[in-house]
Chain A
Amino acid sequence: MNSEDSQKTAVVEADPIIQPGLTLGSVTDKISSIVLTKPATPGWVFGFLVAFGLLMLLNLVITLLAIWGVGIWGINIPIGWGFAIVNFVWWIGIGHAGTLISAFLLLLHQKWRTSINRFAEAMTIFAVMCAGMFPLLHMGRPWLFYYLMPYPNPMWLWPQFRSPLVWDVFAVSTYFTVSLLFWYVGLIPDLATLRDRAKTTAKKVVYGFLSLGWRGSAVHWSRYEFASILLAGLATPLVVSVHTVVSFDFTIALVPGWHSTIFPPYFVAGAIYSGFAMVLTLAIPLRKYYHLEDLVTMRHLDIMAKVMLATGVIVAYSYVAETFMAFYSANIFERYQFMDRMTGKYAPLYWLLVACNLVIPQALWSRRVRRNVVLLFIISLIINIGMWLERFVIVVVSLHRDFTPSIWSMYYPTHWDWATFAGTFGLFFTLFYLFIRFLPMISIVEVRSLVHQTSADKTMHS
Chain B
Amino acid sequence: MSEDPNHKNPPSASIDLATARTNLASSSKARLWRGLEELSQTPAYRDSAKHEFAEHADQAPDGIARRDVLKLMAASAALAGLSACTKLPTEKIVPYVRPPEEIIPGRPLFYATSFTQSGGVAAGLLVESNMGRPTKIEGNPEHPGSLGGTDVFSQASVLDMYDPYRSQTILFDGRLSSWSDFAAAVGNVRARLTAQGNGVRILTKTVTSPSLAAQIRKVLDQLPGAKWHQYEACGGDTAREGARLAFGRPVNTVYHVDRADVILALDADFLTEGPGHVRYAREFSSRRDLAAGPSASLNRLYSVESMTTATGAMADHRLRMRSTDVEAFARQVAAAVGVSVPGNAGASGPKVPADWMMGLTSDLMQHRGSSLVVVGQQQPPIVHALAHAINAALGNTGKTVAYTEPLEAEPVNEVESLRDLVNDLNANKVEFLLILGANPVYDAPADFNFRTALFNAKLRAHVGRYVDETGDLCHWHVPASHYLEAWSDARAYDGTVGIVQPLISPLYDSYSDHEVIALLTSDSGASGHDLVRNYWQSQRPEKGKAFEAFWETSLHDGLMAGTALPEISVPIHADFASQAAQPSGANGIEVVFRPDPSIGDGEFASNSWLQELPKPITRITWDNAAMMSPNTAHQLGLTTGSYVKLHLGDNWMEAGVFMVPGHVDDSVTLHLGYGRQLGVGVAGGDGRVFGDGVAGGAGFNAYVLRTSSNLWMAQGLRIEKTDKKYEFASMQHQYVVESDGQRADDISDNAFRRDLIQIATLDEFRKDPAFAQVPAAHEDKSLSLYPAFAPSEYGWGMSIDLNRCVGCNACVIACQSENNIAVVGKDQVIRGRAMHWIRIDTYFKGALENPEMYYEPLPCMQCENAPCEYVCPVGATTHSPEGLNDMTYNRCVGTRYCSNNCPYKVRRFNFYLFSDFKTPSLYGVRNPNVTVRSRGVMEKCTYCVQRIQEAKIHSQEEDRSIRDGEIVTACQQACPAEAIVFGNINDPASRVSKLKAQSRDYVLLADLNTRPRTSYLARVRNPNPEIHR
Contact = CB atoms under 8 A, between A and B. Distances in A.
A140 B905 contact: no
A139 interface: yes
A253 B936 contact: no
Contacts of B756: 404-405
Contacts of B536: none
A336 interface: yes
Band of interface residues on A: 35 or more
A383 B843 CA distance: 42
Given A77-B833, A406-B732, A70 B936 contact: yes
A144 interface: yes
Contact of A404 (B735, B903, B935): B903
A138 B874 CA distance: 15
A265 interface: no
A157 interface: yes
Contact of B904 (A69, A138, A162, A403): A403
Interface class of chain B by DSSP: loop
A364 interface: no
A267 B899 CA distance: 23
Interface in B725-759: 732, 735, 746-748, 750-751, 753-754, 756
A165 B897 contact: yes
B952 interface: no
Interface stretch (B341-349, B585-593, B886-894): B886-894
Nearest to B834: A77
B935 A406 contact: no
A139 B858 CA distance: 27
A333 B843 CA distance: 18
Given A140-B937, A336-B750, A148 B873 contact: yes
Interface in B892-922: 892-897, 899-901, 903-905, 907-913
Contacts of A367: none
Contacts of B831: 74, 76
Contacts of A336: 750
Interface in B804-862: 828, 831-833, 839, 841-843, 856, 858
B759 to A, nearest CB: 16
Given A140-B895, A405-B751, A406-B732, A165 B871 contact: yes
Contacts of B769: none
A290 interface: no
Interface class of chain A by DSSP: loop
Contacts of A402: 903, 905
A77 B907 CA distance: 8
Contacts of B833: 71, 76-77
B1023 interface: no
Contacts of B832: 76-79, 409
B912 A254 contact: no
B905 A78 contact: yes
Interface string A389-430: 000000000010011111111000000000000000000000
Contacts of A144: 893
Nearest to B749: A405
A139 B894 contact: yes
A85 to B, nearest CB: 9
Given A139-B894, A403-B754, A77 B909 contact: yes
Contact of A406 (B751, B828, B873): B751
A71 B911 contact: yes
Interface in A106-151: 135, 138-142, 144-145, 147-148
Nearest to A146: B893
Contacts of B1004: 404
Contact of A408 (B735, B871, B872): B735
A81 interface: yes
A53 interface: no
A332 interface: yes
Band of interface residues on B: 35 or more
Given A69-B935, A141-B935, A399-B900, A160 B892 contact: no
B955 to A, nearest CB: 29
A233 interface: no
Contacts of B894: 70, 139-141
Contact of B873 (A80, A165, A403): A165
A332 B753 contact: yes
Contact of A70 (B828, B911, B1008): B911
Contacts of A81: 896-897, 900
B912 A160 contact: no
B936 A139 contact: yes
A163 interface: yes
A330 to B, nearest CB: 11
A278 B936 CA distance: 34
Contacts of B858: 404, 406
B730 to A, nearest CB: 11
A150 to B, nearest CB: 11
A253 B873 CA distance: 13
A159 B874 contact: yes
A81 B873 CA distance: 15
A46 interface: no
B1008 A403 contact: yes
28 contacts: A69-B911, A70-B894, A71-B828, A74-B831, A76-B831, A77-B899, A78-B832, A78-B899, A79-B832, A81-B897, A140-B910, A141-B893, A142-B893, A147-B874, A158-B875, A159-B874, A160-B874, A160-B875, A162-B870, A163-B873, A254-B901, A255-B900, A399-B900, A403-B754, A404-B858, A404-B1004, A405-B746, A406-B747
Interface of A: 68-71, 74-81, 135, 138-142, 144-145, 147-148, 157-160, 162-166, 169, 249, 252-255, 332-333, 336, 399, 402-409
Given A80-B899, A148-B874, A404-B1005, 16 more contacts: A69-B912, A76-B833, A78-B832, A78-B899, A80-B900, A141-B936, A141-B937, A144-B893, A147-B873, A148-B873, A160-B870, A160-B875, A333-B754, A404-B858, A406-B732, A406-B842
Closest 9 CB pairs of A and B: A140-B894, A140-B936, A76-B832, A80-B896, A71-B911, A405-B747, A165-B873, A406-B841, A403-B903
